[in-house]
Amino acid sequence: MARAFAIVSIAVILTGWVTVGFFSTFQRQMVFPGPEGVSEALLDRAADQVGASVLRIPTADGETLYGWHRAAVRSGPRRVVLYLHGNASSLLAQLELQNLLLSEGWDFLGIHYRGYPGSTGSPSEAGLHEDAMAVWRWAVDALGASPSRIAIHGRSLGGAVAVHLAAEASPGALVLESTFTSIVDLAKERFGWLPVGPFLEHRFMSRDYAGRVSCPVLVAHGGADSLIDVRHGKELARLFRADEYIEVPGIDHNDMLLVGATASRYLRFLEGTIPATGR
């Protein structure tokens, strides 16, 4: 009996370690799956259709990022929304949001992370932070935007990238849409039966940056988000002492959140932090 119990125990332990090893090996594919069916040629055609300038932005560590700049028609100083997309998304996924921003006098600026369509390299947590800083520097140096007139908007995984950038760059505003407190917290919810924490290479500890972000913050989350539970949004709003919290019942993770009925609150927040006539 004791021998049988020992054999079963060893088998359970070995199965657990094999599973953990599998999780560790393939976590990059889980964290950075990339968009399906999106090619650089498709992006270039779409850019031409919407009037976007295609960008090639160098990073400090030698990669080149594909990006778009869409300039708004405006009468006052330039205002920019620097947009950081989700882990399975692309510049094509938020055209409605881009058009909304342009119609209100905001430039749209977005890039694809390293390893995503049109960009060189392979994605990693450190790499995405390098990418965000590269596009920030392009906005300030090449575009000539004042840091205080740049709003950083991060969605899903992009929210974690946006938090880190906001802590380093001091923008005029920060928008966190449908994002998490950390990958560690999310993984524990998804794989609670495994000791995944120590094996996570890409941790994205957004909650740890709450005390380092000084600009106004908007947090938005769908009440029916099945990928990142709404409690993450509520906790981020609490930790970052959000100036505005938007929760929309019935909205899932991939639904449009900040357009339609909620667009006015999103735009009002942006306008209140970076007015059109300000310096």
Q: Does the annotation count 252 as an active-site position?
A: no
Q: Catalytic: which of 89, 90, 119, 156?
A: 156
Q: How far apart are CA 151 and CA 128, in angstroms?
A: 18
Q: Does the annotation count 225 as an active-site position?
A: yes
Q: Does the annotation count 255 as an active-site position?
A: no
The tokens for 144 are 């000539």
| Residue 144 CA, distance from chain mean position | 23
Q: Give which of 89, 99, 103 is closest to 49, Cα–Cα.
A: 99
Q: Catalytic: which of 85, 225, 229, 232?
A: 225
Q: Catalytic: which of 44, 129, 170, 253?
A: 253
User: How many CA atoms lie within 13 Å of 123's alpha carbon, on the beta-carbon side?
Assistant: 24
The residues assigned a catalytic role are: 156, 225, 253
